[in-house]
Amino acid sequence: MSPTAIRVRGLRKSYGELEAVKGIDLDVAEGRVFALLGPNGAGKTTIVEILEGYRNRSAGEVSVLGSDPRDAEALFRRRVGIVLQSTGVEPYLTVSELIEQFRGYYPDPRPLDETIELVGLTAKRNDRVKRLSGGQQRRLDVALGLAGNPDLLFLDEPTTGFDPGARRDAWQMIRNLRELGVTVFLTTHYMDEAQSLADEVAILVDGRIAAQGPPAILTSGKQTRIRFRLPEGTPPPGGSTVAGDAFEIHADEPTRELHELTSWAVERGVELDQLTVSHASLEDVYLELTQPENGGGR
């Protein structure tokens, strides 16, 4: 077990009568990518901002890189990079000027060219911020978070508003950071993002952690989903449920149940249109935990 970058015990935060964070524990190992997931209003931003030192907590213990972020001393600030959800920069400066300005705040900054390269803005380095697209500005946000060569990087919804290509690029960038040994604390709405990037995820529901662990472990033990369509008027086989304009079988023993299904179809001469077999994804786990009809997200 590698050393702990972030350790949280019994964290609570109240705003007046409203308790937004209701006692959570978290451990993030050094050099890992950790994703905090949850619906809007679940308390993600509150938790991240407590870890970043922007907000005070109501109760609990928090240790980030061995410091209490509540004190937010210069030593802590030097080792932590923060990419907030929405932030402004001086629109009339160029990409490299801004990164250079932020590099100047740190004793041991990451080289300018390397920082620009990491976020893929090399072609835009002499463009003013005003002229960048939304996705490019977001990459600049990340570059400013990386300028100080941090050991720990907070990324609050880094790919919101990205087109699919830009998201893939951003994912590659985060993987590169991981290669460099940077610990990444990520919040996101996108389940595929967490599944693809995170070593460990925590799903936050209504101020509590409903599930925590590596994505593969969270999804293991879940049923495999067999999905197919039938010609109109064909009565479905037993054990299947209607899902939109198709049918689904939630299988505990997928090999046997798939065999039964295809045998059933072959016997009747029915074609199983758009037949898919998929393992439960993080999204299934997430929806199960957060959708009100399943008892989550009260």
Partner 1 sequence: MSGLALALRQVRYENLAFWRNPAAAFFTFAFPLMFLVIFNLAFGNEPIRIEGGRTVRFSTFIIPAIITLSIVNTQYTNIAMRIVFGRDGGLLKRVRGTPLPAWSFVLGTIAHATLLGLLLVVITIAAGALFYGVDVPTTTLPALVVTLIVAAAGYSALGLAITTVIPNADAAPAIVNFSILPLYFLSNVFIRIEDPPAWLDFIRELFPIIHTVRAVEAAFSPLTSGSGLRLGDLAFIALWGVAGAVIAARFFSWEPRL
Q: Which residues form the interface with partner 1 (CB under 8 A)?
A: 52-54, 74, 77-78, 80, 82, 84, 86-90, 92-93, 97, 101-102, 104-107, 128, 144, 148
**Cα 278 to the chain's mean position, in Å?**
22
CB distance 58 to 243 below 8 Å: no
Distance in Å, CB of 171 to partner 1, minimum:
24
Distance in Å, CB of 76 to partner 1, minimum:
9
From residue 139, give the alpha-carbon distance in Å to each of 146, 152, 180, 197. Answer: 10, 17, 18, 17
Neighbour-count burial for 28-39, b at 16+ CB within 10 Å, e otherwise: bebbbbbbbbbb
148 vs 277: CA distance, rounded Å:
46
CB distance 124 to 136 below 8 Å: yes
Q: Which amino acid is at 238?
A: G
97 vs 260 by CB, closer to partner 1: 97
CB distance 57 to 70 below 8 Å: yes
From residue 9, give the alpha-carbon distance in Å to each of 16, 24, 31, 198, 208. Answer: 22, 6, 20, 21, 12
144 vs 282 by CB, closer to partner 1: 144
85 vs 176 by CB, closer to partner 1: 85
Q: Which amino acid is at 69?
A: P
CB distance 101 to 64 below 8 Å: no
Distance in Å, CB of 93 to partner 1, minimum:
6
30 vs 7: CA distance, rounded Å:
11
103 vs 250 by CB, closer to partner 1: 103
CB distance 224 to 251 below 8 Å: yes
144 vs 249 by CB, closer to partner 1: 144
107 vs 292 by CB, closer to partner 1: 107
1 vs 74 by CB, closer to partner 1: 74
